[in-house]
């Protein structure tokens, strides 16, 4: 079969940020498959220099509009570790709840607004609102619950206001917590409906052996801090994050690439799932079983399913955390601290995967050096090489140009890339 075609997608839609896909086929053979991030760089690591540690998390929050809470907490964790601040337990729980809110709402946004249209052959979620109103309604409910969790715990769902060094500036009221509990109960049927709906969709069959990296602390499903582990057996301390990432520059992308034991590696829901399956709650495990999802899964399209499994996990956990908080006085939420020189890494599991902020402070508490490594950065190389393998498989199966193009964009979307975030 002698076909020549180019797939050239500029500014891929339904993802956060600007990325391009280039596929070139000459005489039926794949000659080029490229994932290029063309986002404008913002130089956060440069602009943060000289900013007070107190303000720094508010700045790094602005790296990303979707996972701002993760960025805030990664910076806070790095700075608290650098300046030896231990936040109170109550604050730790509330922060965790804030993060759950963000992950839930981000997953819901991705599943219903960005990914689902592909499976239903729609250009966006807007026509789905007409064709499948009850599904969109369920998605909106989950997203709203996520936002409500974040708003109650840190004041706002995008760019949180009350997450501060040393703990929290304000605790949620018991009244708000009780309202959240009711909301969670109301959302359970929506989650069931969502799961049932996604089971009706067919995910492309594609596998490429991949090394998955995530946090792991052995006690609970990972969110904030812990060891850095990979499915290839690598284990590192949080502060040794550079050994996990090995960033390098390519000439076609403004976002850097990373690698560990192989050519590329992946982070995200599927990575967390693959490394921490045993720590999932029964409900989440049951959801995974319903999709036949088992660790270690190497199909990147299954990241969508892993996100849905995590929604189950988060809703269960959030309920438990709220119960803990309802038994608490909610008074001890912030410790005071003295600025000091130091340096440390804060690693958190953002919705899209492991996120590192490394901060160095001087003795006045000003940030003198910072390094942020974003999950999408860690996925770029994997997306790039996946595209290559996927395009080859499609050609081998005799798929048309249109079919190949659709598979490629679906692949990129499965990673739920957060591109502006990756070019920070």
Residues near another protein (CB under 8 A) = 11, 13-17, 40-43, 45-52, 55, 58-59, 62-66, 68, 109, 113-114, 117, 123-126, 129, 140-141, 143-144, 147, 154-162, 164, 169-170, 249, 254, 420-421
- Min separation Cβ 420 and another protein, Å: 5
φ and ψ at residue 336, rounded to 5 degrees:
-85, 160
- Min separation Cβ 208 and another protein, Å: 25
335, 88 contact by CB (below 8 A): yes
Residue 392, token pair as written in the block: 């080859």
Nearer to another protein, 11 or 26 (CB): 11
Nearer to another protein, 98 or 271 (CB): 98
At which residue do the structure tokens 């805030």 appear?
72
Strands (E), 264-324: 265-266
- Min separation Cβ 198 and another protein, Å: 19
- Min separation Cβ 144 and another protein, Å: 4
Bridge partners of 24, per DSSP, are 6, 32
47, 87 contact by CB (below 8 A): no
Nearer to another protein, 186 or 397 (CB): 186
Q: Is 87 exposed, middle or buried (0-12, 13-18, 19+ CB in 10 A)?
A: buried
Nearer to another protein, 215 or 418 (CB): 418
- Min separation Cβ 307 and another protein, Å: 17
Nearer to another protein, 300 or 365 (CB): 365
Do strands 19-26 and 29-37 pair parallel, antiparallel, or not at all (unpaired)?
antiparallel
Nearer to another protein, 30 or 109 (CB): 109
Across 160-193, b (16+ Cβ under 10 Å) vs e yields: bebbbbbbbeebbeeeebeebeebbeebeebbeb
Q: What is the DSSP letter of 363?
A: T
- Min separation Cβ 1 and another protein, Å: 28
- Min separation Cβ 170 and another protein, Å: 4
- Min separation Cβ 42 and another protein, Å: 6
CA 5 distance to own-chain centroid: 34
Rounded CA-CA distance 33/131 in Å is 35
Rounded CA-CA distance 386/409 in Å is 12
* Helix (H/G/I), strand (E/B), else coil: 313: helix
Nearer to another protein, 162 or 404 (CB): 162
Rounded CA-CA distance 286/161 in Å is 36
Residue 205, token pair as written in the block: 């069959």
Nearer to another protein, 147 or 304 (CB): 147
């Amino acid at each position: 079969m002698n076909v020549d075609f180019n797939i050239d997608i500029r500014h891929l839609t339904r993802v956060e940020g600007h990325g391009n896909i280039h596929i070139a086929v000459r005489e039926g053979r794949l000659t080029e498959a490229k994932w290029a991030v063309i986002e404008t760089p913002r130089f956060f690591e440069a602009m943060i220099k000289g900013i007070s540690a107190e303000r720094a998390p508010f700045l790094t929050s602005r790296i990303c509009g979707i996972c701002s809470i993760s960025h805030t907490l990664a910076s806070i964790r790095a700075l608290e570790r650098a300046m030896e601040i231990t936040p109170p337990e109550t604050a730790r729980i509330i922060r965790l709840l804030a993060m759950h809110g963000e992950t839930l709402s981000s997953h819901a946004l991705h599943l219903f607004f960005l990914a689902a249209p592909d499976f239903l052959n729609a250009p966006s979620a807007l026509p789905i609102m007409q064709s499948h109103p009850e599904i969109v309604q369920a998605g909106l409910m989950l997203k709203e619950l996520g936002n409500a969790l974040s708003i109650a715990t840190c004041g706002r769902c995008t760019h949180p206001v009350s997450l501060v060094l040393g703990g929290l500036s304000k605790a949620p009221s018991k009244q708000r917590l009780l309202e959240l509990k009711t909301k969670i109960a109301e959302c359970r049927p929506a989650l069931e409906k969502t799961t049932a709906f996604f089971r009706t969709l067919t995910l492309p069959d594609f596998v490429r052996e991949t090394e998955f990296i995530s946090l792991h602390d052995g006690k609970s499903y990972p969110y904030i801090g812990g060891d850095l582990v990979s499915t290839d057996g690598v284990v590192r301390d949080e502060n040794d994050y550079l050994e996990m990432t090995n960033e390098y520059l390519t000439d076609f992308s403004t976002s850097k690439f990373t690698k560990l034991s192989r050519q590329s590696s992946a982070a995200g829901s599927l990575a967390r799932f693959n490394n921490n399956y045993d720590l999932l709650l029964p409900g989440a495990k049951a959801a995974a079983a319903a999709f036949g999802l088992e660790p270690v899964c190497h199909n990147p399209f299954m990241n969508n399913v892993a996100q849905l499994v995590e929604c189950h996990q988060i809703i269960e956990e959030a309920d438990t955390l709220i119960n803990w908080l309802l038994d608490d006085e909610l008074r001890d939420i912030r410790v005071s601290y003295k600025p000091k020189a130091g340096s440390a890494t804060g690693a958190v599991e953002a919705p899209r995967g492991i996120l590192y902020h490394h901060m160095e402070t001087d003795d006045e508490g000003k940030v003198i050096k910072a390094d942020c490594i974003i999950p999408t950065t860690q996925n770029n190389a994997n997306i790039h090489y996946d595209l290559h393998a996927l395009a080859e498989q499609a050609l081998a199966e005799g798929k048309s140009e249109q079919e190949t193009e659709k598979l490629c964009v679906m692949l990129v979307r499965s990673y739920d890339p957060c591109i502006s975030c990756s070019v920070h």
